[in-house]
């Protein structure tokens, strides 16, 4: 399937913006669903945003709706997450994930087989 290479992240003040990228090397064309997840210290990993490649349907956690946007560029084999109006509670390690099938619950971690390395997002108040 290939590796997922995550870039972006960093530190920003509340209200600021950051963008994450996840590039797949390998069999990107077999990817059916992709998503962004995050994990804060002491908390479980949670789904943030996801999409199904064939339909283009997108899914968002309630906590990020209206602030985050997931997108992809098939020509670049890359998934993106644009994060605007960031809040301190968005601070976490962010991961991208993919699956070779259309996952039934897009924001559920167990449905994804392939994971990229995490990138830290820190939002200060």
Q: Give the model's pLDDT for residue 26.
A: 75
Task: Say yes or no to pLDDT of 121 above 80.
Answer: yes
Q: Which of 66, 72, 63 is nearest to 21 (CA)?
A: 72
5-24 residue pLDDT tens? 999 999 999 999 999 999 98
Task: Say yes or no to pLDDT of 1 above 60.
Answer: no
Q: Give the model's pLDDT for residue 110.
A: 95
Q: What residues have CB less than 8 Å from 119, skipping those under 6 apart?
A: 6, 7, 8, 9, 20, 93, 94, 95
Q: What is the largest CA-CA distance in the chain?
A: 41
Q: Give the model's pLDDT for residue 63.
A: 98
20-75 residue pLDDT tens? 999 988 777 778 999 999 999 999 999 999 999 999 999 999 999 999 999 999 99
């Amino acid at each position: 399937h290939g590796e997922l290479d995550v870039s972006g992240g960093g530190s920003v003040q509340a209200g600021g913006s950051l963008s994450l990228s996840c590039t797949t090397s390998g069999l990107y064309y077999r990817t059916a669903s992709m998503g962004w997840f995050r994990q804060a210290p002491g908390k479980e990993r949670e789904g943030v945003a996801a999409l199904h490649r064939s339909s283009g349907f997108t899914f968002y956690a309630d906590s990020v709706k209206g602030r985050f946007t997931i997108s992809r560029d098939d020509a670049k084999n890359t998934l993106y997450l644009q994060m605007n109006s960031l809040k301190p509670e968005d601070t976490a390690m962010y991961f991208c994930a993919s699956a070779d099938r259309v996952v039934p619950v897009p924001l559920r971690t167990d449905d994804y087989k392939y994971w990229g390395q995490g990138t830290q997002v820190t939002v200060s108040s």
